[in-house]
Amino acid sequence: MKYEVVIPAAGQGKRMGAGRNKLFIEVDNKPIIVHTLLVFEQDPLCQGILLAINPDDRSELTGLLKAYQIKKVTALVDGGRERQQSVHNALKQAQASIVMVHDGARPFIQQPTILELAQQAHKMGGAVAAVPVKDTIKKIRDGFVEETIERASLWLIQTPQAFRLSIIMKAYEEAQKAGFEGTDDASLVEHIGEKVQVVEADYDNIKLTTKEDLIFAEAILAKRRKYGQ
Ligand code: CTP
Ligand code: MG
């Protein structure tokens, strides 16, 4: 199942505290965003990469695309203040019947998950990568436990999130009209009453958010070097 991918990369990486967009931090001698882009560059099913960027990062990013011979980026659009706006700006350039959205800050996504998501999106309309929660989750109010939520029904939602183009476009347009802000792409699709399938992904598909995630990143790469993918 062929697809296009929207990669939001226009954040500031405030929680990483590096004083610049965290996606330029190198792990294993390559900027985080390059790791992410290369996964899609090397996937024969990926027809194009629509990258949302901060205008201040444009020249550094175009330099990286050249240096790493990344040729599938078909649009470099300016992002917005929130991730939702960045994704929406890039989505407007989408053409393929299946589009997935994947965080620039998740460099460890692998092809089997991508393939499964594209297939499920084609069949069901929408699909998200997720893993079962390992810890017990409780709802807290004023410092006291209000409720323990049954763990079997709880999943941690990641990206990629894949959709039929018509559905995701409608979801973003409706959200804009209604002033609805979601914390992920699927929540906008849920908001218009469409179903979203869950695809079990890997625990190592982490989002590099804070400093300690860089240590986990090195560990994931060391594991892959030792045991293969
Ligand atoms: N992103 C974006 N546009 C924004 C905000 C975020 O394209 N206005 C992107 C980030 O570049 C990242 C992804 O969305 O690839 C997930 O966001 P997050 O991990 O929160 O990154 P940042 O927003 O950069 O980090 P922080 O929230 O700590 O500032
Ligand atoms: Mg953010």
The string of pLDDT tens digits covering residues 131-190 is 999 999 999 999 999 999 999 999 999 999 999 999 999 999 999 999 999 999 999 999
pLDDT of res. 15: 98
| Whether pLDDT at 35 is above 90 | yes
End-to-end CA distance of the chain: 22
Instruction: Give the number of other Cβ atoms within 10 Å of residue 74's Cβ.
Output: 14
Of 49, 83, 205, 211, the one to substitute when testing ligand 1's pocket (max ligand atoms within 8 A of C-beta) is 83
Q: How far is CA 54 from CA 11, 78, 83, 90, 115, in A?
A: 7, 6, 11, 12, 29
pLDDT of res. 228: 84
Provide the CATH topology of domain 3-227: Spore Coat Polysaccharide Biosynthesis Protein SpsA; Chain A (3.90.550)
Q: Provide mean pLDDT across the span 1-14.
A: 98
The string of pLDDT tens digits covering residues 188-215 is 999 999 999 999 999 999 999 999 999 9
- Domain map of the chain by residue range? 3-227
ipTM higher than the 0.85 cut:
yes
The string of pLDDT tens digits covering residues 58-117 is 999 999 999 999 999 999 999 999 999 999 999 999 999 999 999 999 999 999 999 999
CB 81 less than 6 A from any atom of ligand 1: yes
- Is residue 183 exposed (0-12), middle (13-18) or buried (19+ Cβ within 10 Å)? exposed
CB 62 less than 6 A from any atom of ligand 1: no
